[in-house]
Structure 1
Amino acid sequence: MIQALLAKGVHIPAPAAVVVEGVDIDRIEAGVTLHPGTTLRGAKTLLRAGTQLGKTGGGYFEDISTGKDVDLYGGYFKDAVFLDGVIARGHAEMRGGTLMEEGSEVGHHAGYKMTITMPFVVAGSLINFCDALIAGGTSRKDHSEVGSCLALYNFTPWGDKFASLFGDVPSGVFLKSRRIFIGGQTQIVSPVHVGYGAVIPAGAAVRRDVPANTLYAEAPFTPGSHDFDPDRYGALTPKFRATMRFIGNLLALRAWYQEVRIPTACDALQKALYEAALRQVEAGISERRKRLEQLVERLPRSLVLHSQAATSETRKRCDEHSLVMSLWPQWSAKLSSNDVPSDAFAAIRERVADAESTLAGIASLTDREVQAGTQALQQIVDAAAL
């Protein structure tokens, strides 16, 4: 296998120090570099020219897909997709559902899973940023920023997982939105929505939504102890609303890949790369729906416990629980929709197809085309909303 890659033009400075197993050579282009200590596996692996793997001492890479000039310094990478120009520095852990779009960067010791960073987003080092989507900015010099030592907490005491949304898809894909700034050592408790132009100071603890174009200030925290039962849920409507909005944005991103990126791919490998990216988006949709389904399955027990307490607050929770359980089949059906406004993206496809790259095509869109595309994507988000 290694000899075949060398013959094809793949650069392997120390062949004896590299392991390659089970890959499809036709999906690896000349000009790829596999540094010493690299292990490369997986029939779904796709590497475009200029990709470098393992430059800081190797790493494990399985079923990953990379665009051109991607630089993954080292760490553990599995079932993740990286579009053109992405950089992930050393000791990263990138797992399923991860998609880094063009020009995104992340520092060393970063953990992503079910994470989507849209073009040009830059994240620092020593971060945990799982179950999130972040957009914002217009270029490599004007981009959303995630500071070092950030922790995004996605797991609750009840055993549920939630995702947070930074910016959105309908505006984010057109690269005309204000950037988002998240300072270092910030702690964020999911699910929250942070709007474009928001600034979160270093060291903040974020437990609520941050509106667009605002400087976040923490609400006073009252210390004390409260009764807690891991089988009894509190207010659920905000979490369902946030999650369904998140899924709606993933549905919009799915439509963007189906209607724009994949049909305008410049060659077969680029199409395969975008199809791999689409699978990451679909994995995120499935993950979020699964988490809500698991929560709904636990509600009958919580309802019984609230009923036994018989206070005004628990009666309120009982009513909410009953409403959620009765409406979940209807809400779930909304989250399974694949409806796309008819011909909404025809003009965008034509312009992107004529450009030298997807991002160049997006940059060439007229204000009217951007407005029409944004409205079409927002319709998809709104259709999934609670």
Structure 2
Amino acid sequence: MKNKSTDMVNLNTPIIGDEVDRTRIGKKATIHPGCRLLGSKTLICDGAELGFEAPVTVNNCYIGPNVKLKGGYFENAVFLEGAEAGSGAHVRSGTIFEEQASIAHTVGLKQTVLFPFVTLGSLINFCDCFMAGGTSRKNHSEVGSSYIHFNYTPNQDKATASLIGDVPNGVMLNQNPIFLGGQGGLVGPCRIAYGTLIAAGSVYRKDQLKPDRLVFEGGGRGGSVPYSTGIYRNVKRQAFNNIVYLANLVALMAWYTHIRRRFIGERFPQALYEGLIDTLHLAISEKIKRFTGFCEKLKESGKLYQQQMGDSASANLILQKDQLVNNRDQAGDLIRRCLDSIDSYQNQAFLSIIRRQIDRVGPGYIDVIKSLDTDEASQGTLWLQQIVDEVTGRMLALFPAIR
């Protein structure tokens, strides 16, 4: 029997794929033995450290200065200055860590945006979320350990992204933090206001739109009732929350395009900015796909619902489903047109404020944003909220029955 040779990997050095552009790896970055670098887009800035606790695999990620990825797998994600991830991380496509956002060990993320300072504990699955809130590393939004964002429905769709905070207020870094208590869960799609504290052990299924509230869920009553997969009995909330989520991502693109790029420099290089824009485009495309897929399912759902309910079927629910089915492609086209015209979403007065503060405070993003006074921050929030409201209104015009 012929012996077959085995390709042995030298674990004493990092493994760098042939496609990786080595000029995009900072000379002052620390990459520990056993790490793998893959992907032609991969960028690793000076001061970054990979693999201190366990091997790290990076595939087409954009890693900013002083980022620490301690162990795990990272693909098509962005990490801005000072972000951190503990061992066992599984961070996938469409994920953005803004400055000083962090996760502890064994956390799974996909299509998730974490604003500055947001902290996730250990043993967490938090896919398809946006989370903001807090003012510093000492006063930050947090998700307790062993938390789950439930992002897959019994009807087998993932149009379930949750908005924990929002973009217009969150970018100003002046909101009360949000706390999601450990050993709990959030059933998407939800919208959660700033200052919300969801008690540990709660599986929360509602929107909490009033700020600064303690909310909790007790043990549910047991039972057994008839159930048919594929029949959506309430589509209004799911559709509306998806629309608001998409509108917030359009506002975030406007913020990145008109404000973030003013900070390009040593701490925020051009290549990192480009990666941020590309990743947000990727995230928005995924959300359009999931929303469209949800709408497509409603065609069959409508038939099943009417067969089951007969004369007692809700005419309004049938109308909602018909509009979502018939206009689903127009919704995606509308969001793409908004992105194509993102340059038009500009506020010169607020941009002038940012330029003045950069000249006064320096080039640091966090320092400049936190230097804004209440009136200045309100101007920026109003600008972004107008974008959210405009995009939401245009989307709802396609589906008037869910207003």
How far, CA to CA, are the matches of 1:302 and 1:52 in structure 2? 50
Between 17-26 and 315-324, the greater mean CA deviation after superposition: 315-324
Alpha carbons 1:192, 1:209 under 8 Å: kept: yes
Deviations 1:346-380 (A, max 9, x none): 22441354323111111222333211110111111
- Aligned twin of 1:92: 89
Give the CA deviation at 1:15.
Answer: 8.0
SS in 1 for 2:40: coil
- Aligned twin of 1:120: 117
Q: Label 1:352 to 1:276 Cα distance change in 2 as closer, same or farther (>3 A).
A: farther
Between 274-283 and 177-186, the greater mean CA deviation after superposition: 274-283
Alpha carbons 1:334, 1:383 under 8 Å: kept: no
Q: Which residue among 347, 356, 365 is the counterpart of 2:372? A: 365
How far, CA to CA, are the matches of 1:344 and 1:286 in structure 2? 30
Deviations 1:101-157 (A, max 9, x none): 101111000001001100001110000000001000011111001100001110011
Give the CA deviation at 1:281.
Answer: 1.6
- Establish whether residue 377 from structure 1 lines up as the match of residue 384 from structure 2: yes
- Unaligned runs of 5+ residues in structure 2 are 1-9, 397-403
Q: Label 1:116 to 1:335 Cα distance change in 2 as closer, same or farther (>3 A).
A: same
Q: How does 1:1-386 map to 2 (within 5 A)?
A: 16-21=12-17, 22-161=19-158, 162-211=160-209, 212-218=211-217, 221-267=220-266, 270-309=269-308, 310-336=310-336, 337-338=338-339, 339=342, 340-343=345-348, 345-351=350-356, 353-354=358-359, 355-385=362-392, 386=396
Alpha carbons 2:258, 2:346 under 8 Å: kept: no
Aligned sequence identity (%): 37
Q: Residue type matched to 2:133 in 1?
A: G
Alpha carbons 2:129, 2:162 under 8 Å: kept: yes
TM-score (norm 1): 0.91
Q: Residue type matched to 1:84 in 2?
A: E
How far, CA to CA, are the matches of 1:227 and 1:362 in structure 2? 53
SS in 1 for 2:264: coil
How far, CA to CA, are the matches of 2:228 and 2:346 in structure 1? 45
How far, CA to CA, are the matches of 2:329 and 2:71 in structure 1? 43
Alpha carbons 1:259, 1:345 under 8 Å: kept: no
Alpha carbons 1:109, 1:126 under 8 Å: kept: yes
- Unaligned runs of 5+ residues in structure 1 are 1-13
Aligned residues: 373
Q: Label 1:199 to 1:238 Cα distance change in 2 as closer, same or farther (>3 A).
A: same
TM-score (norm 2): 0.88
Q: Label 1:330 to 1:77 Cα distance change in 2 as closer, same or farther (>3 A).
A: closer
SS in 1 for 2:78: strand
Give the CA deviation at 1:28.
Answer: 1.5
Q: Residue type matched to 1:356 in 2?
A: P
How far, CA to CA, are the matches of 2:297 and 2:175 in structure 1? 39
SS in 2 for 1:111: strand
Alpha carbons 1:149, 1:185 under 8 Å: kept: yes
How far, CA to CA, are the matches of 2:303 and 2:356 in structure 1? 57
Alpha carbons 1:260, 1:348 under 8 Å: kept: no
Alpha carbons 1:352, 1:358 under 8 Å: kept: no
Alpha carbons 1:306, 1:315 under 8 Å: kept: no
